[in-house]
Amino acid sequence: MPSKCIRIIPRLDIKGPNLVKGIQMEGLRVLGKPEDFAYQYYLDGADELLFIDVVASLYGRNNIVEIVERIAERIFIPLTVGGGIRTLKDFYSVLRAGADKVALNTAAINNPSIIRDAAKNFGSQCVVISIEAKKNDEGYYEAYTDNGRERTGVDVFEWAKRVCDLGAGEIMVTAVDRDGTGQGYDTRLVEKLSKNLPIPVIAAGGAGKPEHIVDVINTANVDAIAAASIFHYYYVLSINKETKEFEEGNLSFLTSIKKGDLSHLLIPEPVGIKNLKDILKKVNIYCRV
């Protein structure tokens, strides 16, 4: 009897018109156009896609709603959108654009009742609570907001229980200290959360090689894994071969990569989605093929 089918979710951080990626959620580098990466991930067997607007400019120029709208025209897997969503009207805007779920962090911390209202209006399955967790000096895991910049004083495990009670459909937990470092997931954090919660848990932050993904699945009882750099860096050269120009942002990273300089990648073993699933299958992890 197969156990649950693990979802592989590429996470695409977006700033303006660009796909970006930081290290420990800081120092954003431009990697290309989100549309190109999203479509490639869809073709290669991604189970869902997650888009986070890292500057939370929902209605600004080149906003994420427009990007998602374009992506949803030709991609038929679940799409989750987060970053800057504060009201039920914002929820409706992104669902209308083609998203299936909305990821909330700051808005939920500031106003937890939005979880209940959103679940009631759009269904629990729409509401993904994103928790940015960081072990603080007092030795407990504290929830952060604003891409790991702002402390909240809220205990991660208490917060997770509370959002379940309020009607959240899923929880994504990002270990802020691991994000973009390629050092592996914080499996203890994820395991403790997942075992104590009745709703699905998505592990995020830290995947640097396929082994890290195998580890978190085997030890932490997760339902899904989200990862960014490990996928982006695998595809970045082939995807940008065709693309001629980019607008905005610091392009030096992209330029150096195009010149073949991979020295500052940090990610030990980038992997394609198909290859990753082959690896998972070999160690008897059940996933969609």
CA 188 to chain centre: 19
- Amino acid letter, 69: E
123 lies in the site for another protein, by CB under 8 A: yes
> What is the smallest separation between the CB atom of 47 and another protein, expressed in angstroms?
6
Show which residues are catalytic.
13, 132
Residues 172, 204 contacting (CB under 8 angstroms) = yes
Angle between helices 210-220 and 187-195 (to 10 degrees): 30
- Amino acid letter, 61: R
Nearer to another protein, 262 or 289 (CB): 289
274 lies in the site for another protein, by CB under 8 A: no
SS3 label, residue 16:
coil
224 lies in the site for another protein, by CB under 8 A: yes
Residues 15, 249 contacting (CB under 8 angstroms) = yes
277 lies in the site for another protein, by CB under 8 A: no
> What is the smallest separation between the CB atom of 119 and another protein, expressed in angstroms?
10
Residues 53-82 that bind another protein (CB under 8 A): 72-74, 76-78
- Amino acid letter, 225: I
Tell which one of 198, 241, 244, 245 touches another protein (CB under 8 A): 198
124 lies in the site for another protein, by CB under 8 A: yes
Q: Candidates 1-9, 23-31, 108-116, 233-241 — which segment interacts with another protein by CB under 8 A?
A: 1-9
Nearer to another protein, 149 or 288 (CB): 288
Closest CA to 94 of 122, 55, 74, 114: 122
> What is the smallest separation between the CB atom of 180 and another protein, expressed in angstroms?
26
The DSSP bridge pattern shows strands 26-32 and 18-23 to be antiparallel
Q: Where do runs of H (alpha helix) occur along 44-186?
A: 64-72, 88-96, 106-110, 113-122, 156-166
Residues 27, 264 contacting (CB under 8 angstroms) = no
DSSP 234-253: HHHHHHHTT-----SS--HH
Nearer to another protein, 21 or 101 (CB): 101
Residue 3: is it exposed, middle or buried by C-beta count within 10 angstroms (0-12/13-18/19+)?
A: exposed
Tell which one of 142, 170, 179, 186 touches another protein (CB under 8 A): 170
Tell which one of 125, 243, 250, 275 touches another protein (CB under 8 A): 125
Nearer to another protein, 109 or 168 (CB): 168
Q: Candidates 54-62, 106-114, 117-125, 211-219 — which segment interacts with another protein by CB under 8 A?
A: 117-125
Binding mask 97-116 for another protein (x = CB under 8 A): xx-x----------------
Angle between helices 113-122 and 88-96 (to 10 degrees): 40
Tell which one of 149, 151, 274, 288 touches another protein (CB under 8 A): 288
Residues 77, 99 contacting (CB under 8 angstroms) = no
- What is the binding site for another protein (CB under 8 A)? 1-5, 7, 42, 47, 72-74, 76-78, 95-98, 100, 122-126, 169-170, 194-200, 221, 223-224, 287-289
